[in-house]
Amino acid sequence: MGQGQPDTRTRIQDAATALFRRNGYSGTGLKRIATEAEAPFGSIYHFFPGGKQQLAEETIRTSGAAYGQLVLALLDSVPDPVESITHAFEAAADDLAATDYADACPIATVALEVASTNEVLRVATADVFAEWVRAGEQWFERWVSDRNRARSLAYSLIMMLEGAFVLSRAARDPEPLRVAGRSVAEMLRTAIEQNDES
């Protein structure tokens, strides 16, 4: 292993993350993961004795947490909260276009696919979404004192982001993400104004 080369487990998990994100759970085989990871096939079961389901669950939880941190970092990169919302959605639009509309949310493809068929993975995606809502609620509470309003804004941000990813990918157009960003920014602006009045 060369210096700076990720270890085999990390390569497997990174390959699985990319493939599950792009092709979904059913559309991703373990042989393909091993090939992409440049790892022996047997090493998947060495690191993930539960096979594909365990690998998918760990991938969902790890990539979901990382993506949530990325979104929060984007939100924190601009001091004005309303502008930061627009900035985050603009960055998402630019990133999606740069990947030729192939990659967006790291868990949405699997979440939609397994919601009715795989309870372990459904719970993993539900846990990630719940953590995103909690983190979003805490972020919005910096500017909106009503906890229920902050929670609603967090849900709205996630729903608008996820829905805009679907529309943008289908249309191969970043505009739905930009529109969604402006909409969430306006919701936040209104909530801040109402917060200041009370």
Q: What is the rounded average pLDDT of the residues 135-153?
A: 97
DSSP category for residue 143: T
Tokens 């509309």 belong to which residue?
Answer: 101
- Residue 13 pLDDT exceeds 70: yes
Question: Does the domain formed by 57-197 have CATH 1.10.357.10?
Answer: yes
- Residue 2 pLDDT exceeds 50: no
**Each residue of 34-62: pLDDT tens digit?**
999 999 999 999 999 999 999 999 999 99
Residue 84 and residue 74: Cα distance in Å, rounded? 7
For the record, the structure tokens of 31 come out as 């042989």
Q: Return the minimum-mean-pLDDT range out of 16-20, 21-25, 100-104.
A: 100-104
Name the residue ranges covered by the structural domains of the chain. Answer: 57-197
For the record, the structure tokens of 142 come out as 């910096």
